[in-house]
């Protein structure tokens, strides 16, 4: 493995904000592997399907060893794959693709990565009943909902497009709350604010080019004592996080989840233990 160049990468759009290359290059160096991690932006358009197929064919031929998948392709990519892990099938979204013997395998490391970071933050407690509000209903939301539901949490989903939230509810069979439009849910928060312990933003609001936007309406007070988690990690302090901290709440961005899911992807591709400390240091040094 040290003799051949290991080609890894990330597909999605946009990708300019991504820290994934820094993480995986740090992992490659720490493990003594000769490799690269490239960004493969695939913007919306009539030729997106053809671009996806072309890139995946290079993975199928063994020219690329593995790919991560980010928004908006975590669900769209699934019909192109030959096999899915039980986690990816249950979640209905893929963030990690491996190739072997001409086949493509889809996995999801977002769900275990999210729970691992909650444990690192000493917020998550096994067996402790809790309620989470998930903002958004895309591929990332599916992983978070699946992870929390498997851990015994009550999960509430609110999305801008209620039909997307309803689809998530119907497929995962995990929600103990009727899916509603995001603003309707937030305006009705007084009905269940006392039970809420965690709010998770799984939407792209807050990342470039939406850095001055937040999924939480400015005029709506946060519930007291809730923990706020934003999957967006660049910038380090989104508008959502800044407003939560000004309200006296504890808040974290998605950098820890990014490190954990990247480590798990790296382990799938290489069979080696991922050097998590080196991955985290690579980001912290960059952020200064």
DSSP states along the chain: --SS-EEEEEEES--TT--HHHHHHHHHHHTT--EEEEEEE--SSTTHHHHHHHHHHHHHTTSS-EEEE-TT-TTTTGGG-SEE-HHHHHHT--SEEEEETTEEEEE--HHHHHHHHHHHTT---TT---EEEEE--SHHHHHHHHHHHHTT-EEEEEESSHHHHHHHHHHH---SS--EEHHHHHHTGGGTGGGEEEEEE-SSBTBTT-TT--SS-TTSPPPTT-EEEES--SSSS-HHHHHHHHTT--EEETHHHHHHHHHHHHHHHHSS---HHHHHHHHHHHH-
Q: Taking the domains of the chain in order of start, what are their residue ranges?
A: 6-108+258-287, 111-253
Active site residue 74: yes
> How far, in Å, CA of 1 to CA of 5, rounded?
8
Task: Using the structure block, give the residue that is written with the tokens 């160096």.
Answer: 29
What pLDDT, on a 0 to 100 scale, did the predictor assign at position 1?
39
Q: Which of 51, 53, 65, 74 is catalytic?
A: 74
Q: What is the architecture of the domain spanning 111-253? A: 3-Layer(aba) Sandwich (3.40)
Domains 6-108+258-287 and 111-253 share a fold: yes
CATH of domain 6-108+258-287: 3.40.50.10860
Instruction: Please give the model's pTM, rounded to 2 decimal places.
Output: 0.86
Report the length, in residues, of the chain.
Answer: 288
How does pLDDT run along the chain (288 residues), one tens digit per residue? 334 799 999 999 999 888 999 999 999 999 999 999 999 999 989 999 999 999 999 999 999 999 999 988 999 999 999 999 999 999 999 999 999 889 999 999 999 999 999 999 988 766 666 888 899 888 889 999 999 988 888 888 888 777 777 777 677 765 544 455 555 655 555 566 667 899 999 999 998 889 999 999 887 888 889 999 999 998 989 999 999 999 999 999 999 999 999 999 999 999 999 999 999 998 877 665
């Amino acid at each position: 493995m040290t003799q051949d160049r290991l080609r890894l990468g990330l597909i999605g759009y946009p990708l300019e904000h991504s820290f994934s290359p820094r993480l995986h290059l740090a992992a490659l160096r720490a493990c003594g592997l000769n490799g690269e991690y490239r960004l493969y932006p695939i913007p919306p358009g009539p030729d997106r399907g053809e671009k996806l197929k072309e890139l995946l064919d290079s993975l199928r031929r063994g020219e690329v060893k593995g790919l991560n998948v980010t928004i908006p392709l975590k669900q769209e990519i699934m019909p192109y794959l030959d096999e899915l892990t039980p986690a990816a099938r249950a979640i209905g979204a893929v963030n990690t693709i491996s190739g072997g013997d001409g086949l493509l395998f889809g996995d999801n490391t977002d769900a275990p990565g999210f729970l691992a970071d909650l444990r690192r933050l000493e917020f998550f407690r096994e067996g402790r009943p809790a309620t989470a509000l998930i903002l958004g209903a895309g591929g990332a939301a599916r992983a978070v909902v699946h992870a929390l539901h498997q851990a015994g949490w009550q999960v509430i989903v609110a999305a801008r497009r209620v039909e997307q939230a309803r689809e998530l509810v119907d497929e995962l069979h995990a929600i103990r709350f009727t899916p509603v439009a995001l603003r309707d849910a937030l305006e009705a928060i007084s009905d269940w604010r006392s039970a809420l312990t965690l709010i998770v933003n799984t939407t792209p609001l807050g990342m470039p080019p939406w850095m001055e936007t937040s999924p939480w309406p400015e005029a709506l007070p946060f519930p007291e004592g809730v923990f706020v988690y934003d999957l967006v990690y660049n910038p380090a302090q989104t508008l959502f996080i800044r407003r939560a901290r000004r309200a006296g709440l504890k808040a974290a961005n998605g950098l820890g989840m990014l490190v954990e899911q990247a480590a798990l992807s790296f382990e799938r591709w290489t069979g080696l233990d991922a050097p998590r400390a080196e991955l985290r240091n690579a980001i912290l040094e960059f952020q200064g």
